[in-house]
Structure 1
Amino acid sequence: MQKPLVGLSRKNFLRESMAGVTLLAIAVPLNIGYAQIAGLPPTAGLYALILPSIIYVLTVSSRQLVASPDAAAAALVASSVGGLAMAGSADYVTLALAQAILSGLMFLLLAVFKLGFLANFLSKPILVGFVGGLALDILVSQVAKMLGVKIDSGGEFVDKVVGLVTGLGTINGWSMLISAASIAVLLLGRRFARAVPWALVVLILATVLVAVADLDGAGVAVLGPVEAGPPALTWPAIDWMMWLALIPSAMALTMVTTAEGLLISRAYGDKRGYATSPNRDLFALGLGNIASGATGGFAVGSSTSRTAAMDQAGSRTQLPSLIMAAGTLLLLVFGTALLEDIPSPAIGAIVAIAIIPLLGIRDLVRLWRTDRFEFLIGLACFLVTLFIGSIPGILVAFVLALINLAKRAASPAIDVLAGTGEPGESLLDEAPRGSVTAPGVVVVRLAAPLFFANGSVFSDAVKRAVLAAPEGSVRHVVVDMEAVTDVDVTGAESFEALASWLTARGIALGFSRVRVDARSRLEQLGLLGESPVFDTNRAAIAALADRTN
C-alpha cells in the first residue's frame, strides 16, 4: 500500500505548506456556502473538512485529489432531504448525516466488489445535464441571497424563480453593492493574480465593512453565531424506514461522485506520472463519508476546483489537505467569533462564481455541434433535474444511458471483406454490390460482440449480402470473428436461425480469425459444429473457392 504523503520532501515542504494555507483559505468560505445550500448549519461544512480529510489522505491512492463537499452534493442534499424534513430542523440535520453514512457504505461496497465501472454509465452528456440542472437551481438561490431577497431556498425551482421575481421590490441596496463588489474582486483577481485566495480576501473585506458600518442593522443578512468547538462523534438516530427512504438519494450521490472522482484521479495521475487505484479511491471516499456523517458533516466527494487549484499552486502531495484539516479545527476551537459577521451576499457571490462553470453551457454547445442525439440526452437530464428533481434526474440519466448504449450496440460496423482482407461497403443500410468476394464465397465481418442488441441486425445483414449476389452463386459464407469478443445466448439463437436459413439454401457456414478467448464460448454454445475454421480470410476464400470450383 502507498504510504501517506508520498512525494513529500524537505525540498518541497515549504511549497506544499503554502499550498495548504491557500487550500484552507479557499475551502472555509466555500464550505460555509455549500452548507447553506444544503440547508445545514455552517459547522456541517467545516466539520466535513477535518476528520474526513484526514482519513481520506491516509487511504487514497491519488497524491493530489482533495476530498470535500461540493455544490452538486449540497444541492442533492437539499433537494432530497428537503422532501423528508424541514430545512434547518434537527431532523433535517440528522437525515443529512445518515445520508452521508449511507453513501459511504455504498462506496465501500463498490470498492470491495470492484463495481466502480457502473459509474461509466454516467457519460459526459449525462453528467453535464445532471450537474447543470443542479447548478442552475443553486444559482437562483444565490442570486436571491446576493440581492437581499428572501425566498424559500428549499422549494422547487419554479417556486424559487417566482419568489425571486416577485421579491425584486424588496432588494437591499447594500446587499447588492456588496455582491457586485465581491464579484468584481473575484473575477479581476482570478484574471490577474490567480495565486491569491480571493474568496478569503472578499470575506475579510466584506465582513470588516459590515462590522464597521453596522450594515446588518441596514438589512444585510449575516452568517450569525457559529457553534464553537471541535466535531464530536455521533450517530444519526432514525428509524429504519427513514434509512430506506434515504437510499435513492445516497445512490445518486455515490454514482455522481464516483464518476467524477475516478475521472479526476486518473487524469491527474496520468498528468503527473504516478499510478492510481480506482477501488482504493472508492474505499477512501467510503471511509471519508462515514467519518463525515459520524462527526456532524455531510456528503463529501472529490473536489474538481480545489484539486485544480492545488495543482496550479505546485502541490504534488496530500499535505495541503492535512493543513486544511488542522486549520479548520483551530478555527472552530478559537475563531468562530470571526465568522459571525460574514455577510450572506458575499457568500452568495463566492458560491455563484464557483458554480457558474458547472452550468455546462459550453459543453452543451459543443454537444449540439458534434452530436445532436447526445445533446438531447444532456438536455433531457438538465430539464428533468431542474423541474422535477435530482432523484428523477439520476433515474432518467441511467435510462438514457441504457438507451444510448443500446442504440450504439444495435448498429455495429458490419462489413463485407474482399479477398485481400480489406473492408468493403457497409451492409447496414442496403446490400452492397459486389458482395461476393470470390466465386461462391462471401466473407462478412462483425466489429462487435454478438449479443441480444445486434444479433438480428447481423443476421439481416448477412442475408442481404447473400441475396444481393446473383441467385444460386453463393455456396459459402465466412464470418470473420476477429472483433467478436463474446456471444450471449440471444445472439447465439439468432446465429443458429441464420445458419438454418443458409443451410436451407445450400450455403455452408465457415469461420475465420476466431479469437482464442471466444472460441471456447462458441463451442459451448454449439455454434462451431462441423463448420471449418480458418486462420485468415485469404485462406478461407482460397480454400472455399477451390472447393466450390
Structure 2
Amino acid sequence: MGQDISAMVASPAEVGLPHSKSFTDWVPGLRTLREYRTAWIRNDIVAGVVLSTMLVPVGIAYAVASGVPAIYGLYATIVPLLVYALFGPSRILVLGPDSSLAPIILGVVLPLSLGDPDRAIAVASAMAVVSGAICILAGIFRLGFITELLSKPIRYGYMNGIALAVLISQLPKLFDFKVESAGPLRDLWSIAMGVLGGKANWTAAALGGATFAVIMLLKGSKRIPGVLIAVIGATIAAGWLHLSETAGVKVLGPVPQGLPVFTIPGLQISDLVPILIGGTAVAIVAFADTSVLSRTYAAKTGQRVDPNQEMVGLGAANLAAGFFQGFPISSSSSRTPVAEAAGAQTQMTGVVGALIVAIVIVAAPMLFQNLPYAALAAVVIAAAIGLFEFADLGRIYRIQRWEFWLSIVCTAGVAVFGAIPGIVLAIVLAVIEFLWDGWRPHWAVLGRPDFVDGYHDVTRYPEARRVPGLVLFRWDAPLFFANAELFEQRVMDAVAASPTPVKRVVVSAAPITSVDVTSADALTDLSEKLKAKGIEICFAELKDPVKDKLKRFGLFTQFGEGHFFPTIDSAVNGYVRDYKLKWEG
C-alpha cells in the first residue's frame, strides 16, 4: 500500500462546514433549469421515454428482491428521480432501486417483517430515511472522502460477495419455491436439496432461463431494451398459455393503483438497531457506487462533480424515498448508460422517465399482472452477474497476493454471514489494512553509497559508507500510538548495531507526516534513554506542520532549535563540524 496515514485523513478545513455556498450550489437542478437550452428538450424527452422502458420492470424486480411488494419498487423509482433532479450535481446519473442494495435490505426486512408486507415496507422505508440522513450529514460536513478509505481489493471483495448473495437469493424464485433464509451459502445448500427433492417448478425455471438468455444476448446493445423485451416476452407467454393455472407458475398479479403518499414509517423499539446498522451499510455502499459512476460520467462530459454535493443529492433522494413509501436506492450502472445512449442532456430525462412510470401506475396497473416471478429473478440475476469483478482481481493476484486474499476473505465473509455482517467485516478489514503499513512500517539505517547521490538504506547498499559515530535513521510512516513503541525500539536496535560507538542519532524525518501525543511522549522517553548513553538525538527534513505539533507539545523547546536540520546533508555536516571529523560526503 505504502500510503501515509495522515495523507488519507482530511484536514480540519476539509472536514468542517463547507465554505459559503450559494443557494443554487445546494440545489444544482435550479441552475440547470436556468441554463436549460431549448435544443435539449427533444433529446431529454426521447431519452426519458427510452429510459422508462427499463424503469418499470427493473423497479419491480428489485422490489421483490428486497423483500417488499412490487408497487413500492415503482414508488422508489419515481420519487428519487424527481428529488435527485433538484439536488443531484450530475446531469446524467440515473438513481433508483439497485441490485447491490437488495441483499442488504432483504437481510434486515426479512427477519423483522416475518412475511407482513406492511411491516416490510415500513422497515425498508426506515432504512432509506437512515441512509438519506447519513448521506446528507456527510455531504454537509464534507465527508465525501470516507468511501475512499475502502481499498479497491476490499471493494471488489465486498461487491463480489454481494453479487453472490444476490444471485443465490434469486435462485428459489427462479425455481419457484421457497427456502428459509439462513445466509447465502446455507441457502445454497437448501436450494440444492429443494431441487433434488422435486420442489422445483421446471416450467417457471425454463421461463426464467429464457428471460435471462434474452437479457444477456441483448446486454451489449445500447439501443435495444433487452430487459423490457425479455420481460414483455415472459409476461405474454405466461398470460397467453395461462401458466399460472396450468403449470402453477407464480405471477405478480394486479399492481395496486395509485401514487405514493407521504408516510412516516411505523416502527417498534426492537427494530431500531438493525435498521440503523442496515441503513448505514446502505449509505456506504450506495455512495461508493454513486461516486464512482458519477466521476466516470463527469469525466466523459467534461463536467466537474462535487462529491459532497453528490452525497447530499443521494441522501435527499433516499430521504424522500423513505417518506414516500419507497426503500433505499442508489445510482444505476445499467440505466445510466441507457439514458446516455438515448441522448440525455440533463436530469430532465429522469423527470420524464418518472412521469411515465407514474402514468403507468395510474392508467395501466394491470399491465404486468401476468409477469412471472421467475422472470423477475432472471432480471436480478443478470444484474448481479454484472457486479462480479474477476479480471482486475487477477491482476491484483499477480502483483500483490496478500491484497488478493484480503479481497477473497471479504467475499467469503459476505457469502457466509450475509450482507450486514459482510459490510462490518469490510470496514474492519479496511481499518486493519489502513493501519498496517503505519503499525509495522519499513525503517532503515542510511549510508552514503559511492556513485549514487544521497543517503540510502545500507541493507540495499551494503558498500555504503557510514559516518563514524553517527546513526542516520529513517522511519517510513507517520508516528502515532500504534507504532510509537516500535519506533523507540528500532532506534535503540540501530544504535546497538552500529559498527562504531554512537554519539548522535539523526532521524531522517521526511516520511513522518504526523505525530500524536503518544508518539511525542515516546520521543521524550527515547531522548532520555539516549542521553543516558551519552547520545543526542536530532531531526532532519522534518515537515513544518509536524514541527508545529512538536512546538505545541513542548518538544521543540526541549530538544532545542539546533537539533533540527533542513536536510540530511546539513545534519551530517553539522555532526562532522561539531566533532571535528574528516569526512567526505
Give the alignment's TM-score, normalised by structure 1. Answer: 0.91
Give the CA deviation at 1:395.
1.8
User: By how many angstroms is 1:262 displaced?
Assistant: 2.3
Q: Is the 8 A contact 1:432 1:465 kept in 2?
A: no
User: Residues 163 and 467 (structure 1 numbering): CA distance in 2 closer, same or farther, change over 3 Å?
Assistant: closer
- Aligned: 1:183 with 2:215: no
Alignment partner of 1:537 is 2:559: no
Indicate the residue corresponding to 2:403 in structure 1. 374
Residue of structure 2 equivalent to 1:151: 178
Aligned to 1:164: 191
Q: Of 249, 273, 287, which residue of structure 2 is paired with 1:220? A: 249
SS at match of 2:534: coil
Cα distance change of structure 1 residues 245 and 204 upon mapping to structure 2, 3 Å threshold: closer
Aligned-partner SS, 2:437: helix
Range moving further from structure 2, 292-301 or 355-364: 355-364
- Is 2:356 the partner of 1:327? yes
Describe how 1:134-533 pairs up with structure 2 within 5 A.
134-147=162-175, 149-152=176-179, 154-168=181-195, 169-191=198-220, 193-217=221-245, 218-418=247-447, 422-425=454-457, 433=462, 437-472=466-501, 474-528=502-556, 529-530=559-560, 531-533=562-564
Change (3 A) 1:498 1:255: same
Gaps of 5+ in 2: 1-23, 581-585
> Which residue is 1:75 aligned to?
103
Structure 2 residue identity aligned to 1:95: V
Give the direction of change, closer, same or farther, for the CA distance of 1:447–1:271 in structure 2 (3 Å limit). Answer: farther
Asked if 2 retains the 8 angstrom alpha-carbon contact of 1:475 and 1:548, the reply is no
Q: Structure 1 residues 69, 361: closer, same or farther in 2, change over 3 A?
A: same
Structure 1 residue 494: Cα displacement: 2.1
Verify the 8 A CA contact 1:141 1:151 in the aligned structure 2.
no
Quick one: distance in 2 between partners of 1:502 and 1:287?
58
Cα distance change on mapping 1:324 and 1:453 into 2, 3 Å: same
Query: 2:235, 2:372 within 8 Å by CA — same for their partners in 1?
Result: yes
Amino acid in structure 1 at the alignment position of 2:144: G
The alpha-carbon deviation at position 88 of structure 1 amounts to: 4.3
CA contact (8 A) 2:103 2:162 kept: yes
Alpha-carbon separation, structure 2, partners of 1:286 and 1:21 = 26
Which region of structure 1 is more displaced relative to structure 2, 124-133 or 50-59? 124-133
Which residue pairs with 2:577 in the alignment?
546
Q: Aligned-pair distance for 1:213? A: 2.0
TM-superposed CA distance for 1:507, in Å, is 2.1
Measure the CA separation in 1 of the matches of 2:363 and 2:242: 24
- Residues 271 and 507 of structure 1: CA distance in aligned 2, closer, same or farther (over 3 Å): farther
Aligned to 1:115: 143
Q: Where does residue 70 of structure 2 map in the other structure?
A: 42
Q: What SS does the aligned partner of 2:101 have?
A: helix
C-alpha distance in 1 between matches for 2:180 and 2:37: 46
Give the letter aligned to residue 156 of structure 2: V
Query: Per-residue CA shift, 1:510-535, capped at 9, x if unaligned?
Result: 22222222211011223332242222
- 1:245 shift after superposition: 4.0
Residues 416 and 435 in structure 1, CA contact (< 8 A), matched pair in contact too: no
CA distance in structure 2 between the aligned counterparts of 1:130 and 1:87, rounded to whole angstroms: 28
Pairs aligned (count)? 543
* Secondary structure in 2 matching 1:115: coil
What is the letter of the counterpart of residue 454 of structure 2? E
Residue 354 of structure 1, CA deviation: 0.9
Question: Which shows bigger deviation, 128-137 or 8-17?
Answer: 8-17
Map of 2:129 onto structure 1: 101
Q: Deviations over 1:484-511 (max 9, x none)?
A: 2210011112222222232222222222
User: What CA deviation, in whole Å up to 9, does each residue of 1:259-282 have, x standing for no partner?
Assistant: 222233233323432222222111
Kept in 2: contact 1:435–1:442 (CA 8 A): no
Deviation at 1:133, TM superposition (A): 2.4
State the partner residue of 1:129.
157
Letter of the aligned partner of 1:81 in structure 2? V
Contact 1:71 / 1:355 at 8 angstroms: preserved in 2? yes
Q: Which moved more, 1:182-191 or 1:23-32?
A: 182-191
| 1:360-381 Cα shifts (integer Å, max 9, x gaps) | 3445444433333223322222
**Counterpart AA for 2:194:** G
Conserved? CA contact 1:293–1:299, under 8 Å: yes
Equivalent residues of 2:261, 2:325 under 8 A apart: yes
What CA distance in whole angstroms lies between the structure 1 residues aligned with 2:95 and 2:219? 23
1:307 to partner: Cα distance: 2.8
Shift of 1:453: 2.4
Structure 1 residue 314 displacement after superposition: 4.7
What residue number does 1:23 align with?
51
State the 1:35 CA deviation: 0.5
**In structure 1, what is the equivalent of residue 9 of structure 2?**
none
Code of the residue aligned with 2:457 in structure 1: it is E
**Cα shift at 1:256:** 1.8
Q: Deviations over 1:317-372 (max 9, x none)?
A: 32221122111111111121111111222222221111112233445444433333
Between the aligned partners of 2:336 and 2:476, the Cα distance in structure 1 is: 39
Match of 1:71, SS state, is coil
Q: Match of 1:236, SS?
A: coil
| 8 Å CA contact retained: 1:433, 1:468 | no
Aligned CA distance change for structure 1 residues 290 and 416 (closer, same or farther; 3 Å): same
| Helix, strand or coil at the partner of 1:342 | coil
Deviation readout 1:213-261 (Å, 9 max, x if unpaired): 2222222221111011111111112244433442111111112222222
Amino acid at match of 1:252: A
SS of corresponding position for 2:456: strand
Match of 2:84 among 31, 56, 61: 56
- In structure 1, C-alpha distance between the alignment counterparts of 2:493 and 2:463, rounded to whole Å: 12
Contact between 2:157 and 2:407, CA under 8 Å: does it hold in 1? yes
Q: Distance in 1 between matches of 2:515 and 2:465?
A: 26
1:84 is displaced (CA, Å) by 1.5
Residues 15-54 of structure 1: CA deviation (Å, up to 9, x unaligned): 3333322322222211111111111111111101112211
Code of the residue aligned with 1:65 in structure 2: it is: L
**Match of 1:26, SS?**
helix
Relative distance call for 1:471 and 1:72 in structure 2 (3 A) is same
Range moving further from structure 2, 256-265 or 486-495:
256-265
State the alpha-carbon separation in 1 of the partners of residues 497 and 461 from structure 2: 7
Query: Structure 1: which amino acid aligns with 2:321?
Result: S
| Deviation (angstroms), 1:382 | 2.1
Contact persistence 1:103–1:286 (CA under 8 A): yes
Residues 1:150 and 1:417: Cα distance change in structure 2 (over 3 Å): same
Aligned residue among 47, 70, 93 for 1:65: 93
